[in-house]
Amino acid sequence: MADLETQPPPTKFLQLSYPAPRVVLATMSRPKDLNCMNTSAQWEMDAFWKWLDLEPSLTVAILTGSGRAFSAGADLKEWDNSMAADADPKDRLGNAPAFKPLSRRLGKKPVIAAVNGLSMGGGTEFAVNCDLVIAAENAYFALPEVKRGVSPIGGALPRIIRTLGLQRASEFALTGRNVTAKEMHSWGLVNSVVPLDKLIEEATRYATMIAENSPDAIICTRAGLREGWESASVERAVEITLEREFAQLQRGENILEGLKAFTEKRKPIWKASRL
């Protein structure tokens, strides 16, 4: 068990472990249902990501799946049962899962997707909003919502436009076809493709490289990246990060430690982030 300052919220859908210092591994654990998310799982995920951002001892999370799937996305059976054929269309929209816990999460700390198998619908929406994506050679991605009469509404569409460009994003979302990990790597969505038995090791390697850095600087740098991804103006994105995260970073102890360690030619000793 990691040396945590606070305890994580109770989890049933997620199984938690700590493969490296400052790193938490969250494994989605509904393998018989391809790790699809029902309503209770969404609430659990929401609580977990909020806890991650507030837990000072952790810098980065890895998300993976159990069994042959990363995640099949929404629990369509639950969704179907909640729909009434004679309901007002505006009421049906209210039942649509939005996957806010990760697909629309902004958050403070980075998340690495370790995609171990099929990643469908909301599962792919998880991946496209993660900061890094490591995929097993057998993994594949799809947004098959158009084949089910619905549409990806958890944040994937505007994000894949930014990551893949219009033509590839259109091919991916409008055909609903399966795209292999290798192809997604060539498209720029996946950072690394490895054999399945090396997946968590590779994701942990990336997580460790991140976690070895200043936790304050990681939060600030990620915020700057996200502002650049979300905002129309580069200059405004810089201004926002300067006024918010960088101002907090300058008031902290880790910036002083990093500069002092550089001058003294030694490895810095970081303190838990309070940003």
Task: Report pLDDT digits (tens) over 215-268.
Answer: 999 999 999 999 998 887 888 889 989 989 999 999 999 999 999 999 999 999
How many angstroms separate the CA atoms of 119 and 248, rounded? Answer: 37
DSSP letter for 183, please. Answer: H
Query: Is the model's pLDDT at 74 over the cut of 80?
Result: no
The kind and range of the H/E element at 226 are helix 215-230
Query: Is the model's pLDDT at 81 over the cut of 80?
Result: no
Residue 1 is predicted with a pLDDT of 52
How many angstroms separate the CA atoms of 127 and 116, rounded? Answer: 11
262-275: average pLDDT: 91
Phi, psi of 238 (to 5 degrees): -65, -45
Identify the CATH assignment for 14-211 out of 3.50.50.60, 3.90.226.10, 3.40.50.150, 3.40.50.1000. 3.90.226.10
Q: Model-level pTM?
A: 0.90
Residue 88 is predicted with a pLDDT of 54
pLDDT: which is higher, 80 or 127: 127
The answer to whether 192 and 134 have CB atoms below 8 angstroms apart is: yes
Domain boundaries, the chain: 14-211, 215-264
How many angstroms separate the CA atoms of 129 and 112, rounded? Answer: 10
